Amino acid sequence: MTIKDTPEEWEVRASETPFVGRKTSVRADDVLMPDGSVARRDYQVHPGSVAVVALDDRGRVLVIRQYRHPVRHKLWEIPAGLLDVPGENPLHAAQRELYEEAHVKAEDWRVLTDIFTSPGGCDEAVRVYLARDLSEAEGGRFEVEDEEAEMELARVPLQELVRGVLAGDLHNTCLVVGVLSLVAAQQGDGLDALRPAGAPWPARPFEA
């Protein structure tokens, strides 16, 4: 048996969008079940996201601390952002987010992992990149607003982040998945064996 997720789409008998927000919406689909019944499934429609595990030459990961209102927490996270433009190349979006949130650029980019953050209630897909060979970005810093205006920035040893994840002190999905995937890659075939930055992403197809 091959352990691999496979695309499949059950018949939708009816669909409506009861809420449309600035970036996301809520959709209600009446889905035909295998036994012939019809069940309503409500879920958030999301444009998709990218996130970046930026690893420096001292084995530290660049993290930011930001207030997240839905969970009423300040969370330590890795740089991340929405795919604002349909069909946007996710690598370009990741490079933009690393610059805007940390004023950092990277010379080496790899795909660390691809995830669905909450597939039972949201169609968000996230591509998590590994960025290495870091340096300070040129030019002025990006002007931030709202929650981002209060962001803190730090570089934390990878193993310290792993301990925080396993202790239940760190909760952000992309950070948790990113740092644990990085350790798995290091202990497996090595970081140079990761997929190239331009690897296909069926969940959010893009132009090279």
Residues acting as catalytic residues: 148
What lies within 8 Å, CB to CB, of 129 at 6+ separation is: 50, 51, 52, 53, 91, 94, 109, 110, 111, 112, 197
User: Could you tell me the CA-to-CA distances from 31 to 37, 46, 72, 120 in Å, in that order?
Assistant: 8, 19, 34, 14
What lies within 8 Å, CB to CB, of 19 at 6+ separation is: 25, 26
User: In this structure, what are the phi and psi dihedrals at residue 191, rounded to the nearest 5 degrees?
Assistant: -70, -30
